[in-house]
Amino acid sequence: MLLKILDRLEEIIIASLMGAATLLTFVTVLHRFLVDVPFLYPYLFGINLAWSQELCIYMFIWMAKFGAAYGVRAGVHVGVDVLINRLNDRWRKGVILFGLLGGALFTGIVGTMGAKFVYELMQTTQVSPDMEIPSWIVYACIPLGSYLMCFRFLQVCWNYWFHNDLPHHDAAHVEGVETSKTAPVALGEA
């Protein structure tokens, strides 16, 4: 139950950030061009959207951190498994588990170092350049996204250890993508 809520929350955060950043970029570009229209100039000139680029950058960074965790869960990260597929089953399982645990260790270390950095940043009055929000809010995506990614690596590792099941991306359901019996479609089929 809690995992389903976390999965859904993760997807909502990613989609909301992507949609908001896209909409804000569209509005900013539209404003930039419409301010040159003579009869709209008096209405639009007073609107200052200088902060929008900074906000879009922050939203894309947050989206990337949470999107990386989603990628681990969904099995959509790019990987080269030619050598792994040539190993016997016992060795293959060991190498895959080693890779998953290595990913969990790395993201756990990055999350811990990021949490320390954010905690120290909270003790300062440093703010972002245009929006003037506390900098620790901007950098909070490092520990949050990294810890979520660490959790996803451990989740995939657990499922693989007990159920011999790795997440994979199936392109068969995507409209316009044709699959064949000889073409690799999912992880481990190449």
Lowest average pLDDT, out of 44-53, 82-91, 104-113, goes to 82-91
The verdict on residue 179 lying in a domain is no
Sign of CA dihedral 115, 120, 123, 125: negative
Domain total for the chain? Answer: 1
Predicted pLDDT of residue 76: 87
The verdict on residue 141 lying in a domain is yes
The verdict on residue 136 lying in a domain is yes
For residue 82, give its domain range.
Answer: 1-163
Query: In the chain, count of helices (H) and strands (E)?
Result: 7, 0
The verdict on residue 64 lying in a domain is yes
Judge whether 92 and 84 are in contact, CB under 8 Å: yes
pLDDT of residue 190 exceeding 50, the answer is no
The verdict on residue 176 lying in a domain is no
Structure tokens at 175: 């409209």
The verdict on residue 187 lying in a domain is no
121, 119, 118: which is closest to 142 by C-alpha? 118
Predicted pLDDT of residue 37: 94
Mean of the per-residue pLDDT values of the chain:
91
Predicted pLDDT of residue 109: 98
The verdict on residue 148 lying in a domain is yes
pLDDT of residue 163 exceeding 80, the answer is yes
pLDDT of residue 185 exceeding 80, the answer is no
127 three-state secondary structure: strand
The verdict on residue 173 lying in a domain is no
Mutual orientation of helices 2-34 and 52-74 as an angle, nearest 10°? 150
Taking the C-alpha atoms of residue 124 and residue 109, their distance in angstroms, rounded to an integer, is 23
